Structure 1
Amino acid sequence: MLRQLQRIVQAVNQAPDFELALQTLVTEVKQALNTDSCTIYLTDFAQQRFRLAATDGLRITQEQPIYMNFGEGMISLAAQREEPLNLAQADQHPRFLQLPGVDETGYQAMLTTPVIHRRKVLGVLVIQQREARAYSADEEAFAVTLAAQLAVVIAHAQAKGVALHPHQQSAFGQTYKGLAAAAGVAIAPAYVMQPLAQLSAVKAKPCDNPEREIRAFRSAVARTRQDLIRLSERMRDEVAAESLAIFEVYHAMLDSESLGQQVEQTIQAGWRAQTALKIVVEQLVQQFEALEDDYIRERASDVRDLGQRILAHLQQRERRATKPPKQCVLVAEEVTVTMLAELPDTEIVAMVSLRGSRNSHAAIMARSMGIAAIVGVAELDLNDIDNQLCVVDGYSGELYLNPPTQVVAEYRQLANEELELRELVEQARGQPAQSKEGEPFSLQLNLGVQVDKSWLQALQSDGVGLFRTEIPFMLRERFPTESEQVELYREVLQQFAEQTVVMRTLDVGGDKPLPYLPLSEENPFLGWRGIRLTLDQPEIFLMQIRAMLKASINTCSLRILLPMVSTVEEVDEALRMIKQAHHEVSEEVAEDPQQHLHYPQVGVMIEVPAVLYQLDVIAEKIDFFSVGSNDLTQYLLAVDRNNERVSALYDAYHPAVIRALAEIAQTCQRLQKPISVCGELAGEPGGALLLAAMGYRNLSMNGYSLDHVRWMLSQLTLAQMQSVLEQVLAARSAPQVHEILALEMEKLGLGGLVRAGA
């Protein structure tokens, strides 16, 4: 039966439209099981009923669609039980229902199998025969397996808005669902952009003149560098200066040994420049995509984009002159930073990317540009969307194609309210971060890319709450030398000489190995990573600590943060080595009376649940704690947020996470130990509200969240925040937490921070 199942699935996937796919399915199943009838019913949750979507065997006696209300018949019973019903004489069952308009005369046996996708019953597959016998265990297993395959097909169709009403638009037009990547709403025609060249289209070809190929490659790199300079200058007046640092990442990749030298070495090995570029870039992309860290994993998109820009110059391709609309929604398979900069005479009001995440550089750039952004709209067909009117809701992640006039009018009003709210938020810059009654907060930055002094100062933050030191390690083909690390760390420390800079020690290993330190583990999330790796490799740890200390000479800014701590022994060993490194650097500094070395404060990240039960003991040894809410959520809920099968379970607003955070805050207050939060939760207005109510006074976030959180805090008293927290702590589920938070923020006049409108 496996071959039959594969054939059916292949036939369904090859069907040109959804309705034909369903009809193909019922016909193929009927033949495979040698039965008399096969029918598929789809769930219509809005109308609380099932629709007969396709049948091969039943005789339909009316032209109107056939419906069955929830709670009626064998269909509802199978859906309620969420398991197959195998009956030899179904017409004798008390729940059997003869549907008007359907002739089931002569059928006795019935096998009903619910079609379930992520705990949601999307429909019911019904197989019938005239003979009064139960279907065999093999036949039932076949139906269950097929229903699991069908669930994916229906889920994708529903995401396109075609599953229930294939020939009609919904009240909102054709609707697609993605991930909200940048808040805002926009209305404009779609403009589809394709990369000039595709690495995937390059065919492997050998070369007999490596010197010529290397010259061509170097020339293409030089022209690409000029492109980046031009695009960066073009964006200089359109985005916050901080976002231009993204182009520096592209330049760093061009300079990286992992790209240029590897390509030239591959050419020397006998391949043409285009082939060598493809080989190297695809290897780098695979390495990045295999990583667990959201931010670093998204650099795969940058590497691919850069490789394809170099390839375009190798192929001597130029973008043809097109006339996009004066205002447009930029749509692409994978929107990149360079795409956002390539339309100088067009106002991009939103971006929609079929691939990517909210951590992509394009999404970061979109937030800086103040435009709505949706990513991960995998079901969208680029061939059908160009120049179609789009409504983009960057709060809900929804895209509406050609919606009716009343929907457009409603969103235009919401867009106007968005502008009013943005003006209010921008007024908060320059104001102290404090509650309505004057309770102070420290708002700091999460950093990990190359930055310059101008944009950092413009943000008016209170320092750096998390500096990810692993990124420079990721961009090299070897460990950076001590002097290279000193240069990097000094650049950041000098910019915050009067504030604090929390530098996290190398957080790699296991699921995110360095290219030059390959690892293979069955369960990398629980493997050799973070402090475990660096303590096992003391030469790496000591070199990094020495570099941090040397960079901090004559400043008091440095704080050192230890990641992935799970035991007291790890803290003891790390402190011993920090003390050793300090002694070694002190001996060097002692030779110069103009230099002073400050002993840094040392903190521990709270991300492994085990630390929650060791706070008292660890607090005696260190100076501060910092909560990594992303990993803490992942480990508390045992959910890999990058696994699409369970990613919906990942939610930082889960009651277990909220209560753990509240308990951490209370314990640290009792211990009188400073505590901060550096995960994504701190940069979300709703999350920041709850954290502030718990007692957290130090929040670290990306630069694009600072103004919103600062303004939100200024609008509330501590009593108002605590009132919301009390209700949230009583919630029993994550959806209930979201509902309470959204409702209370509406009451407090802050609804515009969590949904479209003022």
Structure 2
Amino acid sequence: MLTTLRRIVLAFGQEPELDTALQNMVGQVKTAMTTECCSVYLADYEQEHFLLMASDGLAKASLGRVAIGFSEGLVGLVGQREEPINIANAQQHPRFKEAPEVQEEDFNAFLGTPIIHQRRVLGILSVQQKQAREFSENEEAFLVTIAAQLAIAIANAETKGILSRNIKQKNRQYVQGIPGSPGLAIGNFYVSYPKAQLSSVSLTKVHQPSSQTKVFQHAVIKTKRDLRQMSDRMQGAIPEDALDIFEMYEHMLESASLGDEILAKINIGWNAESALKLVIEQYVVQFESVDDLYIRERATDIKDLGNRVLFHLQQEDINKPTPPENMILVAQEVTASLIAEYQHKGLKAIVSLSGSTNSHAVILARALGIPAIMGVGNIPLSSFQQKNAIIDGYSGEIFLSPDTATLNEYQHLVREEDELQEIVKQVIDLPAITKDGKSIELLLNAGLGAEFDDSMKNGAIGIGLYRTEIPFMERSCFPSELEQITLYKKVLNSFPRQPVVMRTLDVGGDKALPYFPISEDNPFLGWRGIRITLDHPEIFLVQVRAMLRANIGLGNLEIMLPMVSGTTEVDDAVRLINQAYFEVSNESDVAVAKPKVGIMLEVPSVIFQLSELAKKVDFFSVGSNDLTQYLLAVDRNNSRVAPLFDSYHPAVLRALNKIAEQAQVELIELSLCGELASEPGGALLLLAMGYDKLSMNAHNIPRVKWVLRHLDYKQAQLILSHCLMLSTAKQVHNYLNEQLELLGLGGFVRAGK
């Protein structure tokens, strides 16, 4: 059964047309279960019904026509209960709904199971039989298993279908994503295609097959040449039988069946990349669906060969568009490096088909003030090519080829956004103080870029977080002490009479050094932050020495330790910092200032050791991103659980409040440097809790300062008291947005002014 299941799922995912994929699937399930009818219904939430999309056994004329309400019939019952329904004689069941057009009067036995993706019922998969009997437990288990396996594929295929239907409509069209970075943008899509991965190719048809045939043939020639060169280079270095792989690849390319099948796909209108994808993936399905392990492993060879040919097909593409004006960058997964590549080329917004709202790409987008929408779904990238759009980073909506009315509406909102941005600049040089006199320090998060630009201060009175790991990540080996001194001195000089908090090397998790690879099953709970540098004192000591030497003559350095989980780590780190201090002092002819040392509060265990830790360090700084991740047990880079990651979760807010209360008891300086600080609602709550400093990206400093200067501290405390009594993050968001609207500050949490 496992082989059958694998074959059905692979075949479904490989078929480019949803209707065909569904029809093939029900036929295969019917055969596998030796039953007389298999059908699939897809949910339409606008119409609130299940639509019969494919069937092998029911009347063909009813496909796409018969709809069963969410609360009607046995299909509706399966959807309501969200579990399998197994009935021996369906026509005698009180929920049975007769639909003459499907011609099911001969069927008695019924087994239906929901197709569920991310808690949402996408459809119903059912089988029927003339004989009145209950389906066996094994049959039920098989149907449930295949429905669960197909859920993601159907979700992806459904998204593609919805998009294509939306594009054909004349009226208001939009695609919904997850808001990542707030703001509005009107511009033109520029698609960044992944390199040489067949899985990322978007199926596309063309009008001139002959040119595509030539492109494919040239790519094959170049691939053969590469294979011969690789074989020649490795001659004598590896055993002769290991070189057979290159010869096998060449034979496969010369195979009449493989080449002819690709050319046949090109001749019916597919472009060369699409034809290659369709044929290669068809072979992969055939190989992976057999029991023999050796043959299954050949599927990897087929994919590798296909990707090699695809590389040359992409090189042959001479029609690569240049980035348009007012560029909206869209990619399968927009990365921080992609943003860095295009930010100086008219980048106005980003759209990522996958990825999470807590990725480094989103953090960089927020720092640059660029709207970002994530998790749009498995939509073909080619669907965005050469289209204009409106990006609403507040709601997560993408309006494709908008009509005049929608365009005019958003042009007005964009003008209001620009006006608001100009208005908040008025407070750049003013203190962050409430109307009734409560002040708080606003500091800068820096280090995302290779260069620190002190023109981006935007009214910050210091640096609350300088990420020292970024320069480490952009080199091919560990930077020398002298290189680090030069860099740190420049940063310290940017705020010569104000504090600059430098976090010691914080790698591991999702931040890897190319020359210091770390392979772990669970990296976020593994070797990262202070754990690495304590295990490698030679790296830690060089970095701290460089910081201390750069600070000579300035005296504004503060050192912060990341990922601390207990007092022992603090003791060990402080001992090494003292060692470095004495070394630098002995080498220097002038006095060396001893910096303040603080720790990041991001591991939940430290919440219960604040009293002990306060006696060992000079300040606390909460890293709200990781603290939220660990408190909620949610990998913030995992798109499947991304909706669960929310710093406004009541548990997170109560933990932050407890930290603030304890810090006041211990009389220790407290700051917060996560994304929560850069949001108006978050800054309001943190002010009310009693945080001394908030550190954020430069773009948001004037916005947060404006909000704080236009409210009373007592109002903020009342709002906090109410939020701490709420039971869900959604309730907190709604209440905060409502209060900001009442204060006349709604333009900071939605489109417009």
Same-fold status (TM-score > 0.5): yes
Aligned counterpart, 1:626 = 621
In the TM superposition, residue 409 of structure 1 has moved relative to its aligned partner by: 4.0
CA RMSD of aligned residues (A): 3.5
In the TM superposition, residue 443 of structure 1 has moved relative to its aligned partner by: 1.0
Change (3 A) 1:34 1:409: farther
Alignment of 1:469-548 (within 5 A): 469-509=468-508, 512-548=511-547
User: Is the contact between residue 158 and residue 164 of structure 1 (CA under 8 Å) also seen in structure 2?
Assistant: no
**SS where residue 94 of structure 1 aligns?**
coil
CA distance in 2, matches of 1:468, 1:167: 43
Query: What letter is aligned with 2:36?
Result: D
Aligned counterpart, 1:682 = 677
Q: Would you say 1:599 and 2:594 are equivalent positions? A: yes
Aligned counterpart, 2:556 = 557
Change (3 A) 1:512 1:367: closer
Aligned counterpart, 1:112 = 112
Q: Would you say 1:7 and 2:2 are equivalent positions? A: no
Change (3 A) 1:533 1:368: closer
User: Is the contact between residue 154 and residue 163 of structure 1 (CA under 8 Å) also seen in structure 2?
Assistant: no
**SS where residue 54 of structure 1 aligns?**
strand
Aligned counterpart, 2:421 = 422
The runs of 5 or more residues in structure 1 that have no matched partner are 211-310
Change (3 A) 1:617 1:398: same
CA distance in 2, matches of 1:652, 1:35: 50
Q: Would you say 1:712 and 2:707 are equivalent positions? A: yes
Alignment of 1:270-289 (within 5 A): none
Query: What letter is aligned with 1:428?
Result: V
Aligned counterpart, 1:574 = 573
Alignment of 1:173-188 (within 5 A): 173=173, 175-188=174-187
- Which stretch of structure 1 is more off in the superposition, 184-193 or 677-686? 184-193
Aligned counterpart, 1:757 = 752
Change (3 A) 1:410 1:55: farther
In the TM superposition, residue 166 of structure 1 has moved relative to its aligned partner by: 8.2
Number of residues of Structure 1 aligned to a counterpart in Structure 2: 644
Query: What letter is aligned with 1:495?
Result: S
Aligned counterpart, 1:643 = 638
Deviations along 1:93-148, one digit per CA (max 9) or x if unpaired, are: 33333346443212111111111111222222121111112222222222112212
Change (3 A) 1:139 1:318: closer
User: Is the contact between residue 188 and residue 328 of structure 1 (CA under 8 Å) also seen in structure 2?
Assistant: yes
Q: Would you say 1:748 and 2:738 are equivalent positions? A: no
CA distance in 1, matches of 2:406, 2:161: 16
Deviations along 1:650-694, one digit per CA (max 9) or x if unpaired, are: 221211111111111111112211110011111122222221221
CA distance in 1, matches of 2:483, 2:347: 39
Change (3 A) 1:332 1:733: closer
Percent identity over the alignment is 50
CA distance in 2, matches of 1:340, 1:318: 24
CA distance in 2, matches of 1:131, 1:164: 41
Change (3 A) 1:92 1:360: closer
Aligned counterpart, 2:661 = 666
User: Is the contact between residue 564 and residue 607 of structure 1 (CA under 8 Å) also seen in structure 2?
Assistant: yes
CA distance in 1, matches of 2:323, 2:669: 56
CA distance in 2, matches of 1:676, 1:443: 10
User: Is the contact between residue 177 and residue 375 of structure 2 (CA under 8 Å) also seen in structure 1?
Assistant: yes
Alignment of 1:431-450 (within 5 A): 431-448=430-447, 449-450=449-450
In the TM superposition, residue 404 of structure 1 has moved relative to its aligned partner by: 4.6
User: Is the contact between residue 368 and residue 699 of structure 2 (CA under 8 Å) also seen in structure 1?
Assistant: no
Aligned counterpart, 2:689 = 694
Deviations along 1:280-327, one digit per CA (max 9) or x if unpaired, are: xxxxxxxxxxxxxxxxxxxxxxxxxxxxxxx99xx9999888795x66
**SS where residue 705 of structure 1 aligns?**
helix
Q: Would you say 1:395 and 2:394 are equivalent positions? A: yes
CA distance in 2, matches of 1:586, 1:167: 68
Query: What letter is aligned with 2:432?
Result: A
CA distance in 1, matches of 2:470, 2:551: 20
Aligned counterpart, 1:247 = none
CA distance in 2, matches of 1:144, 1:198: 35
Change (3 A) 1:155 1:719: farther
Change (3 A) 1:559 1:719: same
Deviations along 1:192-235, one digit per CA (max 9) or x if unpaired, are: 5669x97999965759999xxxxxxxxxxxxxxxxxxxxxxxxx
**SS where residue 418 of structure 1 aligns?**
helix
In the TM superposition, residue 170 of structure 1 has moved relative to its aligned partner by: 9.4
CA distance in 1, matches of 2:555, 2:659: 27
Query: What letter is aligned with 1:719?
Result: K
CA distance in 1, matches of 2:317, 2:77: 60
Change (3 A) 1:165 1:53: farther
CA distance in 2, matches of 1:551, 1:620: 27
Change (3 A) 1:699 1:187: same
In the TM superposition, residue 468 of structure 1 has moved relative to its aligned partner by: 1.5
CA distance in 2, matches of 1:446, 1:369: 12
Deviations along 1:447-503, one digit per CA (max 9) or x if unpaired, are: 2233345424x5221111111122222333433222222222222112222000111
User: Is the contact between residue 18 and residue 161 of structure 2 (CA under 8 Å) also seen in structure 1?
Assistant: no
CA distance in 1, matches of 2:319, 2:90: 64
Query: What letter is aligned with 2:556?
Result: S
Query: What letter is aligned with 2:411?
Result: R
The runs of 5 or more residues in structure 2 that have no matched partner are 199-218, 234-310
User: Is the contact between residue 336 and residue 361 of structure 1 (CA under 8 Å) also seen in structure 2?
Assistant: no
Change (3 A) 1:377 1:737: same
Identify which of 725, 742, 752 aligns with 1:730. 725
**SS where residue 459 of structure 1 aligns?**
coil
Aligned counterpart, 1:255 = none
Change (3 A) 1:418 1:580: same
Change (3 A) 1:378 1:429: same
**SS where residue 698 of structure 2 aligns?**
coil
- Which stretch of structure 1 is more off in the superposition, 164-173 or 502-511? 164-173
User: Is the contact between residue 429 and residue 707 of structure 1 (CA under 8 Å) also seen in structure 2?
Assistant: yes
**SS where residue 128 of structure 2 aligns?**
strand
**SS where residue 643 of structure 1 aligns?**
coil
User: Is the contact between residue 357 and residue 642 of structure 2 (CA under 8 Å) also seen in structure 1?
Assistant: no
Aligned counterpart, 2:43 = 43
- Which stretch of structure 1 is more off in the superposition, 149-158 or 432-441? 149-158
Q: Would you say 1:79 and 2:79 are equivalent positions? A: yes
Alignment of 1:26-41 (within 5 A): 26-41=26-41
User: Is the contact between residue 48 and residue 70 of structure 1 (CA under 8 Å) also seen in structure 2?
Assistant: yes
Query: What letter is aligned with 2:571?
Result: D
User: Is the contact between residue 79 and residue 121 of structure 2 (CA under 8 Å) also seen in structure 1?
Assistant: yes
What TM-score, normalized to structure 2? 0.77
Query: What letter is aligned with 2:104?
Result: E
User: Is the contact between residue 161 and residue 170 of structure 1 (CA under 8 Å) also seen in structure 2?
Assistant: no
Aligned counterpart, 2:716 = 721
Aligned counterpart, 1:144 = 144
Alignment of 1:37-436 (within 5 A): 37-59=37-59, 65-99=65-99, 101-160=101-160, 162=162, 169=169, 172-173=172-173, 175-192=174-191, 204=226, 206=229, 329-331=328-330, 336-342=339-345, 349-354=348-353, 372-436=371-435
CA distance in 1, matches of 2:528, 2:736: 35
Aligned counterpart, 1:21 = 21
Aligned counterpart, 1:264 = none
CA distance in 1, matches of 2:157, 2:530: 45
CA distance in 1, matches of 2:633, 2:725: 22
Aligned counterpart, 2:587 = 588
Change (3 A) 1:447 1:368: closer
Change (3 A) 1:496 1:169: same
Query: What letter is aligned with 1:660?
Result: A
